[in-house]
Amino acid sequence: MKRFFVCFLIAVLFYGCEKEITLNLSSEANMKVVINAMFTDETNENEVEIRWSIPQPNDIASPINDAQVILSSFDEVILFGLDSSKPGTYRAKTNLRLQQEYTLTVSIDGQIYSARAELASGKAFNPPTFSYSSEEKLYYLDKVANPFDPSNPAIYQLEADWSEVTGYTQLPKEQTHALFYFFSLQTLDVSQLLPPPSEKIGFPAGTIIDIKRFALSQEHAEYWRQVLLETTWAGGLFATEPANVISNFSNNAAGWFGLCGTTQLSVIVGEK
């Protein structure tokens, strides 16, 4: 049985449609702060997204633009600045180190929300395997990683690009690119083995696939397991933060602060 689960909508996890709105007191009383911060050990900027929760999937998320965001360790303090082009998003360059505890502190209207995490160590991994359809002359992802890995949970991001393959060069980007996420977690749920049906994407020979592995701590993996059980594996959408999903933030904030070591490789589909 193929064990690759396609999750097209995760790329917009917790983002949805963003629009600044004025909240009335009655609705604000029932809302909570949602903080999503998944940092990596790469040299580029990391970002923190902060917004109010939304009670219904079709509601509009309201970004929080007046927060103070600080990342600190025993020998370093980093201030995050608001990205003017992306409401509710705060950015800063970081240099994360192993065996170092970090604290993310968010201040909003005098309320303090904080979480602690250590960097999960990145690990080497094997390239994915593919099956070939001779009728369609296309390759399909067969296996990326074991979906059950109690020792080394991780998220695998796969970016596929076949825009340079003969016969596809004139097509628009949305017809020559695909983004996938695969989860390898520390527990195996029945709903993980039998997920809702999802569209399969075939690749022509010559497709370049870049794979990035995000290492997860055990706690971070449990957070993702709960999110998936409430969303993708349950046939829903990544539109809201489910009420019963765990959080490592204080003061009843939703979301998660995680630090992921990354490793990556690239493959050319159909290459021997």
**pLDDT tens readout for residues 127-162:** 999 999 999 999 999 999 988 888 999 999 999 999
Tokens 């902060």 belong to 50
Whole-angstrom CA distances from 61 to 108, 128, 150, 226 are: 17, 36, 34, 21
Quote the pLDDT of residue 13: 30
Quote the pLDDT of residue 187: 81
Domain borders along the chain are: 16-119+245-259
The two three-digit tokens of residue 78, written as one number = 């980093």
Query: What's the burial of 102, exposed, middle or buried (CB within 10 Å: 0-12/13-18/19+)?
Result: buried
The mean pLDDT value of the chain amounts to 84
Fold of the domain built from segment(s) 16-119+245-259:
Immunoglobulin-like (2.60.40)
How confident is residue 9, by pLDDT bands cut at 50, 70 and 90? very low
Asked if residues 243 and 252 have their Cβ atoms less than 8 Å apart, the reply is no
pLDDT greater than 90 at residue 186: no
Of 257, 245, 253, nearest to 51 by C-alpha is 253
Of 160, 74, 157, nearest to 118 by C-alpha is 74
How confident is residue 190, by pLDDT bands cut at 50, 70 and 90? low
Quote the pLDDT of residue 97: 93
Quote the pLDDT of residue 21: 38
